[in-house]
Protein backbone atom coordinates (compact mmCIF):
# COMPACT_ATOMS: atom_id res chain seq x y z
CA UNK A 1 0.00 0.00 0.00
CA UNK A 2 1.56 3.27 -1.13
CA UNK A 3 0.53 6.29 0.91
CA UNK A 4 -0.85 9.29 -0.97
CA UNK A 5 -0.47 12.74 0.60
CA UNK A 6 -2.57 15.72 -0.45
CA UNK A 7 -1.77 19.29 0.53
CA UNK A 8 -4.89 21.40 0.08
CA UNK A 9 -5.63 25.10 -0.02
CA UNK A 10 -2.45 26.18 -1.76
CA UNK A 11 -2.44 29.80 -2.90
CA UNK A 12 1.16 30.80 -3.56
CA UNK A 13 4.07 29.57 -5.66
CA UNK A 14 6.19 29.30 -2.50
CA UNK A 15 3.70 27.01 -0.77
CA UNK A 16 3.09 24.97 -3.90
CA UNK A 17 6.81 24.48 -4.47
CA UNK A 18 7.27 23.39 -0.86
CA UNK A 19 4.57 20.76 -1.32
CA UNK A 20 5.94 19.55 -4.66
CA UNK A 21 9.56 19.43 -3.50
CA UNK A 22 8.55 17.51 -0.38
CA UNK A 23 6.81 14.91 -2.52
CA UNK A 24 3.10 15.66 -2.29
CA UNK A 25 1.06 13.35 -4.50
CA UNK A 26 -1.91 15.69 -4.83
CA UNK A 27 -2.24 19.46 -4.47
CA UNK A 28 -5.57 21.13 -3.81
CA UNK A 29 -6.85 24.46 -5.12
CA UNK A 30 -9.92 25.90 -3.42
CA UNK A 31 -12.70 27.57 -5.41
CA UNK A 32 -14.93 28.88 -2.64
CA UNK A 33 -15.05 32.66 -2.07
CA UNK A 34 -15.83 32.36 1.65
CA UNK A 35 -12.62 30.45 2.28
CA UNK A 36 -9.34 32.19 3.19
CA UNK A 37 -7.78 29.67 0.79
CA UNK A 38 -9.85 30.71 -2.23
CA UNK A 39 -8.04 31.27 -5.51
CA UNK A 40 -9.23 32.92 -8.71
CA UNK A 41 -9.31 31.06 -11.98
CA UNK A 42 -6.31 33.01 -13.22
CA UNK A 43 -4.31 32.18 -10.09
CA UNK A 44 -5.34 28.56 -10.30
CA UNK A 45 -4.20 28.23 -13.91
CA UNK A 46 -0.69 29.35 -12.97
CA UNK A 47 -0.50 27.01 -9.98
CA UNK A 48 -1.95 24.06 -11.85
CA UNK A 49 0.47 24.41 -14.75
CA UNK A 50 3.39 24.56 -12.33
CA UNK A 51 2.22 21.37 -10.63
CA UNK A 52 1.23 19.42 -13.72
CA UNK A 53 3.27 16.28 -14.20
CA UNK A 54 4.64 16.50 -10.66
CA UNK A 55 1.45 16.05 -8.64
CA UNK A 56 -2.22 15.58 -9.41
CA UNK A 57 -4.24 18.79 -9.28
CA UNK A 58 -7.44 18.73 -7.25
CA UNK A 59 -10.12 21.41 -7.68
CA UNK A 60 -12.16 21.80 -4.49
CA UNK A 61 -15.64 23.23 -5.03
CA UNK A 62 -18.62 23.77 -2.74
CA UNK A 63 -22.03 23.40 -4.38
CA UNK A 64 -20.67 25.01 -7.54
CA UNK A 65 -23.03 25.57 -10.46
CA UNK A 66 -22.58 24.15 -13.95
CA UNK A 67 -20.92 27.29 -15.30
CA UNK A 68 -18.29 27.35 -12.55
CA UNK A 69 -17.58 23.65 -12.95
CA UNK A 70 -17.22 24.02 -16.71
CA UNK A 71 -14.85 26.98 -16.38
CA UNK A 72 -12.63 25.19 -13.89
CA UNK A 73 -12.56 22.04 -16.01
CA UNK A 74 -11.68 23.95 -19.18
CA UNK A 75 -9.10 26.35 -17.81
CA UNK A 76 -7.51 24.59 -14.85
CA UNK A 77 -7.80 21.06 -16.23
CA UNK A 78 -7.80 19.38 -12.83
CA UNK A 79 -7.10 15.70 -12.38
CA UNK A 80 -9.85 15.44 -9.78
CA UNK A 81 -12.83 17.43 -8.57
CA UNK A 82 -13.33 17.46 -4.80
CA UNK A 83 -16.98 18.11 -3.97
CA UNK A 84 -17.04 19.58 -0.49
CA UNK A 85 -20.60 20.86 -0.21
CA UNK A 86 -24.04 19.27 -0.12
CA UNK A 87 -23.73 17.65 -3.53
CA UNK A 88 -26.01 14.64 -3.88
CA UNK A 89 -24.96 11.34 -5.45
CA UNK A 90 -26.83 12.41 -8.60
CA UNK A 91 -25.10 15.78 -8.72
CA UNK A 92 -21.73 14.08 -8.20
CA UNK A 93 -22.46 11.76 -11.11
CA UNK A 94 -23.56 14.66 -13.29
CA UNK A 95 -20.33 16.58 -12.68
CA UNK A 96 -18.26 13.53 -13.51
CA UNK A 97 -20.25 12.87 -16.68
CA UNK A 98 -20.22 16.49 -17.88
CA UNK A 99 -16.50 17.09 -17.37
CA UNK A 100 -14.96 13.66 -17.78
CA UNK A 101 -12.98 14.42 -14.63
CA UNK A 102 -12.92 11.93 -11.74
CA UNK A 103 -14.78 13.03 -8.62
CA UNK A 104 -14.03 12.73 -4.91
CA UNK A 105 -16.95 13.39 -2.56
CA UNK A 106 -16.22 14.78 0.89
CA UNK A 107 -18.49 13.45 3.62
CA UNK A 108 -18.70 15.06 7.04
CA UNK A 109 -18.37 12.69 9.98
CA UNK A 110 -19.13 13.08 13.67
CA UNK A 111 -20.90 9.86 14.61
CA UNK A 112 -21.50 6.37 13.15
CA UNK A 113 -24.81 7.40 11.56
CA UNK A 114 -22.95 9.82 9.30
CA UNK A 115 -21.46 6.85 7.44
CA UNK A 116 -24.86 5.56 6.34
CA UNK A 117 -24.78 7.73 3.20
CA UNK A 118 -21.53 6.26 1.93
CA UNK A 119 -23.15 3.45 -0.04
CA UNK A 120 -25.35 5.86 -2.00
CA UNK A 121 -22.29 7.73 -3.30
CA UNK A 122 -20.09 4.77 -4.18
CA UNK A 123 -21.58 4.09 -7.66
CA UNK A 124 -21.24 7.74 -8.64
CA UNK A 125 -17.80 8.85 -7.42
CA UNK A 126 -14.20 7.72 -7.75
CA UNK A 127 -13.09 8.45 -4.19
CA UNK A 128 -14.53 9.19 -0.77
CA UNK A 129 -12.99 11.76 1.57
CA UNK A 130 -13.95 11.69 5.24
CA UNK A 131 -13.72 15.04 6.98
CA UNK A 132 -14.85 16.28 10.37
CA UNK A 133 -18.34 17.72 10.55
CA UNK A 134 -18.05 21.53 10.75
CA UNK A 135 -19.18 23.43 13.84
CA UNK A 136 -22.77 24.64 13.90
CA UNK A 137 -22.06 28.31 13.25
CA UNK A 138 -23.39 30.50 10.43
CA UNK A 139 -19.85 31.43 9.43
CA UNK A 140 -18.45 27.89 9.61
CA UNK A 141 -16.65 26.59 6.53
CA UNK A 142 -17.45 23.13 5.19
CA UNK A 143 -13.83 22.13 5.67
CA UNK A 144 -10.41 23.40 6.72
CA UNK A 145 -11.58 24.10 10.26
CA UNK A 146 -8.86 22.16 12.01
CA UNK A 147 -11.28 19.77 13.70
CA UNK A 148 -10.93 16.00 13.74
CA UNK A 149 -13.44 13.24 14.36
CA UNK A 150 -13.15 9.86 16.05
CA UNK A 151 -10.86 8.14 13.56
CA UNK A 152 -11.92 4.73 14.86
CA UNK A 153 -15.20 5.21 12.99
CA UNK A 154 -13.49 4.51 9.68
CA UNK A 155 -10.91 1.98 10.87
CA UNK A 156 -10.20 -0.33 7.91
CA UNK A 157 -13.40 0.81 6.20
CA UNK A 158 -13.60 -0.45 2.62
CA UNK A 159 -16.58 1.08 0.79
CA UNK A 160 -15.40 -0.10 -2.60
CA UNK A 161 -13.72 3.18 -3.46
CA UNK A 162 -10.37 4.64 -2.32
CA UNK A 163 -10.70 6.47 0.98
CA UNK A 164 -8.94 9.68 2.01
CA UNK A 165 -8.82 11.06 5.55
CA UNK A 166 -9.02 14.77 6.35
CA UNK A 167 -9.90 16.93 9.32
CA UNK A 168 -7.59 18.01 12.13
CA UNK A 169 -4.49 16.38 10.71
CA UNK A 170 -1.13 17.97 11.55
CA UNK A 171 2.50 16.91 11.42
CA UNK A 172 2.04 15.89 15.04
CA UNK A 173 -1.09 13.75 14.58
CA UNK A 174 -0.78 12.17 11.15
CA UNK A 175 1.11 9.10 12.37
CA UNK A 176 -1.58 8.32 14.94
CA UNK A 177 -4.32 8.84 12.35
CA UNK A 178 -2.67 6.42 9.94
CA UNK A 179 -2.15 3.81 12.64
CA UNK A 180 -5.78 3.99 13.77
CA UNK A 181 -7.57 4.16 10.43
CA UNK A 182 -5.44 2.13 8.05
CA UNK A 183 -6.21 4.61 5.24
CA UNK A 184 -3.90 4.94 2.26
CA UNK A 185 -4.50 8.67 1.62
CA UNK A 186 -4.37 11.73 3.86
CA UNK A 187 -5.30 15.35 3.24
CA UNK A 188 -4.18 18.41 5.19
CA UNK A 189 -4.90 22.12 4.93
CA UNK A 190 -5.15 24.17 8.14
CA UNK A 191 -2.76 21.79 9.91
CA UNK A 192 0.16 23.13 7.88
CA UNK A 193 -0.69 26.83 8.22
CA UNK A 194 0.71 29.63 10.36
CA UNK A 195 -2.57 31.56 10.00
CA UNK A 196 -5.84 30.85 8.16
CA UNK A 197 -4.96 30.52 4.49
CA UNK A 198 -1.23 31.05 5.05
CA UNK A 199 0.73 27.88 4.38
CA UNK A 200 3.93 27.26 6.34
CA UNK A 201 6.51 25.55 4.10
CA UNK A 202 8.24 24.00 7.11
CA UNK A 203 5.02 22.44 8.35
CA UNK A 204 4.24 21.17 4.85
CA UNK A 205 7.62 19.45 4.73
CA UNK A 206 7.19 18.11 8.25
CA UNK A 207 3.72 16.75 7.52
CA UNK A 208 4.82 14.86 4.44
CA UNK A 209 7.96 13.53 6.14
CA UNK A 210 6.03 12.34 9.20
CA UNK A 211 3.34 10.75 7.06
CA UNK A 212 5.89 8.88 4.95
CA UNK A 213 7.76 7.65 8.01
CA UNK A 214 4.54 6.49 9.67
CA UNK A 215 3.63 4.62 6.50
CA UNK A 216 7.04 2.92 6.37
CA UNK A 217 6.63 1.85 9.99
CA UNK A 218 3.16 0.55 9.24
CA UNK A 219 4.48 -1.50 6.32
CA UNK A 220 7.34 -2.92 8.40
CA UNK A 221 4.88 -3.88 11.11
CA UNK A 222 2.69 -5.66 8.58
CA UNK A 223 5.66 -7.45 7.11
CA UNK A 224 6.82 -8.72 10.48
CA UNK A 225 3.53 -10.38 11.35
CA UNK A 226 3.54 -14.18 11.12
- Active-site residues, by number, are 8, 131
Give the burial string for 136-157 (b: 16+ CB within 10 Å, else e): eeeeebbbbbebbbebebbeee
For β-strands 185-188 and 193-195, DSSP reports them as unpaired
Q: Using alpha carbons only, what angle is made at residue 137 by residues 136 and 141, rounded to the nearest 5 degrees?
A: 95
The residues that bridge with 61 in the sheet, in sequence order, are 31, 83
Amino acid sequence: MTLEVKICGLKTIEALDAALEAGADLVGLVFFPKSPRNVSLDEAVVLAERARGRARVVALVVDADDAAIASIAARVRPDLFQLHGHESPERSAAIRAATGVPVMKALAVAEPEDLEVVASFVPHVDRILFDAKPPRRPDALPGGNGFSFDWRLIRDLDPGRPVMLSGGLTPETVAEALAITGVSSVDVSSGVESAPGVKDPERIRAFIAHAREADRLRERTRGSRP
